[in-house]
Structure 1
Amino acid sequence: MTLLLLIIIYLAFISLGLPDSLLGAAWPVMQPDLGAPLETAGLLFMTIAGGTIISSLISGKVLKRYGTGKVTFVSVLMTACALLGFHFAPSVGWLVVCAIPLGLGAGAVDAGLNDYVAIHYKAHHMSWLHCFWGVGATLGPIIMAQFIAEGNFWRNGYFVISSIQFALVLLLLFTLPLWKKVNNNSHIAFNENQEPTKDASNDGVHHDVKPLQIKGVKLALASFLFYCGVEATVGLWGSSFLVNVKDLSPATAAKWVSFYYVGITVGRLITGFVTFKMTNRTLIRAGQIIAFAGAVILFLPLPTIFSLVGFIVIGLGLAPIFPCMLHETPARFGKKHSQTIMGYQMAVAYTGTTFMPPLLGFIASHSTIGILPICVVLYVAAMLLSSEKLNGILKQQVLRKSL
């Protein structure tokens, strides 16, 4: 029963990833079709992410009242309806309207399922959960590229993705009783899946301190901000960069960006196995170094094919960072405050997703989209610096305890 529920959670994360990469892949074709300026994609992206921030902030109360199963069902239904709205939208204004439920639907299910898996399953399940997000994010531009190649039919791409979402809605509807059964048996089913974590709150240092006052929390938040800035910026503007700077066709650009998501997906699949041998901290550092190398490849004036290599390497590097940072939260700051800090991290992550890609779009509209590699290098460098400073603080705390 718990295995079946885990499969359903994985499928729900596929649905979460499907829309995330669609707008960036389709925008080079949508823009002239709608007669919109380049930065409009940033506005739409910001609207979606803004809805996600709002729903994630209120998700705690909603999840406690209705349960993860019902919230997931309603959220995926909202997403499906929003994507269908994108198919029929006659103007940019209607796209903005449809972007609101698309974001609201994503936030609640993301926060709810992340919390559920963090509580009930081990680290490798968290990596594999986000691997399935990558499956959806990879399939999105592949499906869209197929319709663009057939005649710039981006609306049909949205229709197909919407249909997939509605199929998952039906599955979630029929399996709603399963969540209640598993929760009733959770004291038996999940105890064996609990992973013992070194609780930083056991030292007594953090008991009377507010979460944001705990040393290192703000650095962790900065890491999440820049991580999502990199991931979302590459996903949204990658196709436009390849079309306008590297002179690729929109269909080819969409396929190349899908390989970026393949890198994230395959990387997280591998990470799930590597967590048996390596710590979260080591995987986070290794991922950041690999992502930085990919950003440098994208930045250098190399032949066009190296842009594809750069996208794939960035994706592989980003793969372990987000799930490992999430799973590391109780070990970093203690179980007492981990739930609150987890919420802060998700809110800051969505803030990065909301504002950093549109910022690049605004700057690019007044200069050139060719600045993408420069921004990616700076974002990854800032993430690495924040993370390493946090590691230094945590190391000092361990040394103090040992004295």
Structure 2
Amino acid sequence: MLGFSIAPSMVWLVMLAIPLGLGAGAVDAALNHYVAENYKAHHMNWLHCFWGVGATMGPIIMSYYVADQHSWRSGYTTVAIIQFALVLILLVTLPMWKRVSALRVPEQPPQLEEENDTADKLQHQPAAKSGILRIKGVKPTLIAFLFYCGVESTVGLWGASYLVGAKNIAAGTAAMWVSFYYGGITVGRMITGFITMKISNRLLIRFGQLIAIVGGIVLLLPLPASLSLVGFVLVGLGLAPIYPGLLHETPARFGKAHSAKLMGYQMAVAYTGTTLLPPLFGFAAAQISVQLFPYVVLVCLLFMWLSTEKVNRQLMTPA
């Protein structure tokens, strides 16, 4: 990001995007793996809730510099300074992270005892011999991550275009409605962080998927444009517990021995969904119509739901 702030041409921006992506992917995989193994489900939900806070702050910082100082470079400089400060904080607190890793016992809810027995068996299964992708439940889990991130980013990137093009809503109002969608994700994760203290991750994931599917149906039905806001908010609230819940379940479902590698696989597939599905929808919308939006959203949500249910069936654990 510091390089972005001083890049002399577009070519440098493209080149600097590579280490930026590598760094983001490494942080994402490592941090989620650490929290999944050492903290509880509500910590994971709150971690991703504050991702939403950070994702909101970034555009605010950039818009301030662009509007008041007419300089996007200063925005990247500011965020780079924040990142350098985070690095210093992490280095100073590194001994604390190691102590927590040594002392904390991963969450083992009573509802998932049989699931943990399955994970214990998988933990002793040599990944090099059988292949990490051959572990029962891994492939449908990866498909669920693909469609989760695909639908999350598609709604965020194309939702306003759908509202403007298909519902004839003003661009400013459409952008505000999409912000409510992201607000639903952020607030939903804060709330579900408390709910996970009483309800298992798997039930929350299932309820979240059903709420998101209801939101997708609301978007699909020929209802007044004002009700599209309800659909966006429901999709956001429904998506809220799914991503952190699936990540937190990784050690419990597949064993600690495989969780670090699987976390990397999950991040890679998740970013693949974020990278490919929105432009694929954009191509389809350009060739056919932006009114495909609610159909694509609902299909992605259904594929995600079917994939997670397949994992539950393959692990043969009680809900």
236, 240, 243: which one pairs with 2:157? 236
- Give the TM-score normalised by structure 2: 0.84
Contact 2:38 2:104 in 1 (8 A): no
**Letter in structure 1 aligned against 2:83:** V
C-alpha displacement of 1:386: 1.2
Change (3 A) 1:306 1:262: same
State the match for 1:191 in structure 2: 103
Partner Cα separation in structure 2 for residue 371 and residue 142 of structure 1? 31
Cα distance in 1 for residues equivalent to 2:64 and 2:212: 28
| Aligned pairs, number | 310
Aligned to 2:295: 374
Return the TM-score normalized by structure 1: 0.68
Aligned partners of 2:290, 2:318: CA distance in 1, in Å?
Answer: 45
Given candidates 41, 46, 53, the residue that maps to 1:123 is 41
Which of 181, 184, 203 is residue 95 of structure 2 equivalent to? 181
In the alignment, which residue of structure 2 is the partner of 1:275?
196
Counterpart of 2:85, as a letter, is L
Asked if 1 retains the 8 angstrom alpha-carbon contact of 2:216 and 2:298, the reply is: yes
Q: State the one-letter code of the partner of 2:269.
A: V
Letter of the aligned partner of 1:212 in structure 2? L
Matched AA of 2:38: H
1:110 aligns with: 28
1:104 CA displacement:
3.0
Could you say which residue in structure 1 is the equivalent of 2:86?
Answer: 172
Give the CA deviation at 1:80: 5.3
Map 1:213-252 onto structure 2 (within 5 A). Answer: 213-252=134-173
2:76 to 148, 151, 162: 162
**2:108–2:252 CA contact under 8 A, matched in 1:** no
- The answer to whether the 8 Å contact 1:135/1:262 transfers is no
Residue 250 of structure 1, CA deviation = 3.3
Whichever residue aligns with residue 289 of structure 1, its letter is L
Deviation at 1:147, TM superposition (A): 9.2
Q: Structure 1 238/96 Cα, relative in aligned 2: closer, same or farther at 3 Å? A: farther
Which amino acid is the alignment partner of residue 251 of structure 2? P
Match of 1:346 in 2: 267
Q: 1:339 to 1:176 in 2, by over 3 A?
A: closer
Q: Aligned residue for 1:258?
A: 179
TM-aligned CA deviation for residue 388 of structure 1: 1.2
In the other structure, the counterpart of 2:55 is 137
1:317 is the counterpart of 2:231: no
Task: Describe the shift of the 1:80–1:282 C-alpha distance in structure 2 as closer, same or farther (beyond 3 A).
Answer: farther
* Aligned counterpart in structure 1 of residue 223 of structure 2, from 296, 302, 318: 302
Alpha-carbon distance between aligned partners in 1 of 2:165 and 2:318, rounded to the nearest angstrom: 50
Q: State the distance in 2 between where 1:339 and 1:110 align.
A: 12
1:42 aligns with none
Q: How does 1:13-28 map to 2 (within 5 A)?
A: none
Separation (CA, whole Å) in 2 of partners of 1:126 and 1:263:
17
Whether contact under 8 Å (2:28, 2:267) holds in the other structure is: no
Unaligned runs of 5+ in 2: 110-115
Report what 2:125 is aligned to: 207
Check whether the contact 2:144–2:305 (CA below 8 A) recurs between aligned residues.
Answer: yes
Distance 2:203 2:186 in 1: 19
Contact 2:211 2:238 in 1 (8 A): yes
Q: CA deviation at 1:237?
A: 1.2
SS at match of 2:136: coil
Q: How does 1:3-14 map to 2 (within 5 A)?
A: none
SS of 2:224's equivalent? Answer: coil
Deviation at 1:341, TM superposition (A): 2.0
Which residue, out of 312, 329, 337, partners 2:258?
337
> Does the 8 A contact of 1:145 with 1:255 survive in 2?
no
Identity of aligned residues (%): 52
Letter of the structure 1 residue corresponding to residue 171 of structure 2: P
Shift of 1:364: 1.3
Answer yes or no: is the 8 Å Cα contact 1:287–1:320 preserved in 2.
yes
Shift of 1:199: 4.8
Higher mean C-alpha displacement, 268-277 vs 200-209: 200-209
Q: 1:224, 1:295 → 2: CA distance?
A: 18
1:316, 1:221 → 2: CA distance? Answer: 22
Opposite residue 25 of structure 2, the aligned amino acid is G
5+ residue gaps, structure 1: 1-78
Deviations 1:181-219 (A, max 9, x none): 3245446xx624642472524347962443211222111
Amino acid at match of 1:119: E
Return closer, same or farther for 1:136/1:378 CA change in 2, 3 Å cut-off.
same
The two structures, once aligned, show a CA RMSD in angstroms of: 3.1
For the structure 1 residues 80 and 263, does the alpha-carbon distance in structure 2 shift closer, same or farther, using more than 3 Å as the test? farther
Task: Measure the CA separation in 2 of the matches of 1:200 and 1:174.
Answer: 40
Structure 1 residue 161: Cα displacement: 4.9
State the 1:387 CA deviation: 1.1
User: Are residues 336 and 372 of structure 1, via their aligned partners in 2, closer, same or farther at CA, if it must alter by over 3 Å?
Assistant: same
